């Protein structure tokens, strides 16, 4: 048998691989044609991209300017909402933790009161020393109980004044109830409270203002108009909470505070619940307070037991409303921007009708024309969205540094913005692409 007869016939590639290869080659050709089209109409493409970039940057950069049309405006509005919400949620949770995760606050005011309810809580009786004693004597669950009362006053030393200092009166249970720590010295003792000692603990900002390079312990500061107190301790630096410094603070024994500033101010009683028993402790505190105030079963409570999760619920409701509003605005602006892109592509189809006719006449398929225009729409959207996200990320970082409003850049949100821009480009580029693909070659060649 000859050698030729022994040779096997050449293997043919499966049909699906051939189709896949042709399809991939076609998509690369579409992408190349889209790039050529955009580069050959530099002014039109540049103006479109400029509108997109400005719109994206404007919305994310705290809406400093009025709404500017561009495909990324709607997408970037939603991104801005999530960026700011992410930063604010983390910041709010961190600041809320300074209140103590298991701490209840007994007060005449309910947290988050506004509107017509304000007078209802305004007319409630203050929490008094009698209420404090009732809680100390009749509750069994709390780990620690400490009264708090405060005012803003001027603190002076060596001829220098610091105004707006948070001056607080409390007892020896304050550290256990609030989680504050002493960096040097000691805290108020039960004896200080009993004799009304002129002892005080100062915050880190007071130390920096009066005693830079000196030893504060044992020195005196004047608190308010006429009280002189000896510094016995210095708090560890706490930082800011809810936009306010916590270190511009002086803490006195409650008896000394009342002697200096009067007893008309109501107390806030901090009650620390055991781990996992916040609800049970709240119920016990409520029952003791109702009994101390002789409230009948059908009478409404004239005090509030505040938990930090109530603040968190209010914050989450506010964020949810903000999200819904922002998403609706984002959708509307995205639709407007998408219509603008669609109009530009329709103009492009009209201008290139003869080119489309020539390509169809030499064998180009409708799918090829369709993909070419879709690629143009997606590329315009992606370039504008990417540039806008880059500018917005820088703006968010600057805002986070120079303002109290936190804005945390989340890569997932940025990726979602890019994908959303591409989807928007496809959605609003489909009609112009179909219009171009459905042109009849003869009619297109006759178009002037």
128 against 36, higher pLDDT? 128
Q: How confident is the model at residue 26 (pLDDT cuts 50, 70, 90)?
A: low
Hey, what are 103's tokens? 């701490």
Are the beta carbons of 37 and 54 closer than 8 angstroms?
A: no
353 against 56, higher pLDDT? 353
Over residues 381-392, mean pLDDT: 71
Percent of the residues in the chain that have a pLDDT greater than 90, as a whole number: 28
Q: List Cβ neighbours of 93 (8 Å cut-off, separation of 6 or more).
A: 312
Rounded to whole angstroms, the Cα distance separating 17 from 39 reads 33
Q: How confident is the model at residue 72 (pLDDT cuts 50, 70, 90)?
A: very low
pLDDT > 90? residue 225: no
Range of weakest confidence among 66-75, 81-90, 221-230: 66-75
Determine the pLDDT at residue 92.
47
Over residues 39-66, mean pLDDT: 52
Determine the pLDDT at residue 289.
94
Rounded to whole angstroms, the Cα distance separating 384 from 8 reads 56
Rounded to whole angstroms, the Cα distance separating 290 from 273 reads 19
pLDDT, the chain, mean: 76
Short-list 438, 366, 375, CA closest to 38:
375
Rounded to whole angstroms, the Cα distance separating 302 from 107 reads 9
397 against 367, higher pLDDT? 367
59 against 47, higher pLDDT? 47
Determine the pLDDT at residue 306.
84
Q: List Cβ neighbours of 293 (8 Å cut-off, separation of 6 or more).
A: 125, 131, 302, 303
Determine the pLDDT at residue 6.
45
CA Rg value for the chain? 35
Q: Phi, psi (5° rounding) for residue 143?
A: -80, -35
* Annotated domain spans of the chain: 21-93+314-446, 102-307
231-283 confidence digits (pLDDT tens): 999 999 987 765 678 899 999 999 999 999 988 888 999 898 888 888 899 89
Neighbouring C-beta atoms of residue 434, cutoff 10 Å? 15
pLDDT > 50? residue 8: no
Are the beta carbons of 408 and 400 closer than 8 angstroms?
A: yes
Q: What is the pTM of this model?
A: 0.56
**What sign does the CA torsion over 88, 94, 96, 102 have?**
positive
Rounded to whole angstroms, the Cα distance separating 301 from 108 reads 10
Determine the pLDDT at residue 45.
63
88 against 222, higher pLDDT? 222
Range of weakest confidence among 10-19, 35-44, 222-231, 421-430: 10-19
């Amino acid at each position: 048998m000859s050698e030729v007869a022994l040779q096997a016939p050449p293997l043919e590639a499966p049909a699906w691989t051939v189709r896949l290869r042709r399809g991939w080659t076609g998509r690369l050709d579409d992408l190349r044609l889209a790039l050529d089209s955009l580069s050959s109409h530099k002014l039109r493409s540049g103006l479109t991209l400029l509108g997109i970039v400005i719109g994206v940057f404007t919305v994310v950069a705290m809406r400093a300017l009025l709404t500017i049309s561009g495909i990324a405006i709607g997408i970037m509005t939603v991104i801005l909402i999530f960026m700011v919400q992410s930063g604010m949620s983390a910041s709010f949770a961190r600041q809320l933790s300074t209140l103590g995760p298991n701490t209840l606050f007994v007060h005449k005011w309910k947290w988050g009161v506004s509107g017509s309810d304000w007078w209802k809580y305004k007319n409630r009786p203050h929490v008094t020393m009698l209420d404090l004693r009732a809680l100390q004597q009749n509750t069994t669950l709390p780990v620690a109980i400490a009264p708090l009362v405060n005012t803003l006053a001027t603190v002076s030393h060596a001829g220098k004044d610091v105004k707006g200092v948070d001056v607080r009166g409390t007892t020896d249970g304050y550290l256990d109830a609030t989680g504050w720590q002493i960096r040097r010295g000691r805290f108020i003792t039960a004896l200080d409270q009993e004799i009304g000692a002129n002892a005080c603990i100062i915050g880190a900002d007071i130390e920096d203002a009066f005693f830079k390079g000196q030893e504060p312990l044992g020195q005196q500061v004047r608190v308010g108009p006429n009280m002189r107190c000896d510094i016995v301790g210095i708090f560890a630096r706490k930082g800011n909470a809810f936009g306010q410094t916590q270190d511009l603070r002086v803490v006195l024994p409650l008896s000394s505070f009342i002697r200096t500033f009067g007893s008309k101010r109501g107390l806030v009683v901090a009650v620390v619940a055991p781990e996992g028993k916040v609800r049970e402790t709240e119920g016990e505190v409520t029952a003791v307070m109702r009994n101390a105030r002789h409230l009948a079963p059908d009478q409404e409570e004239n005090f509030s037991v505040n938990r930090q999760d109530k603040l968190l619920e209010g914050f989450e409701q506010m964020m949810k409303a903000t999200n819904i509003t922002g998403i609706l605005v984002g959708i509307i602006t995205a639709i407007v921007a998408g219509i603008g892109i669609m109009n530009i592509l329709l103009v492009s189809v009209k201008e290139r009708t003869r080119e489309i006719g020539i390509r169809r006449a030499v064998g180009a398929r409708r799918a090829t024309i369709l993909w070419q225009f879709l690629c143009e729409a997606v590329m315009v959207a992606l370039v504008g969205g990417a540039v806008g996200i880059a500018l917005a990320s820088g703006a968010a970082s600057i805002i986070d540094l120079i303002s109290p409003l936190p804005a945390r850049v989340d890569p997932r949100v940025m990726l979602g913005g890019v994908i959303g821009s591409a989807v928007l480009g496809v959605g609003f580029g489909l009609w112009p692409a179909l219009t171009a693909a459905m042109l009849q070659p003869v009619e297109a060649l006759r178009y002037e």
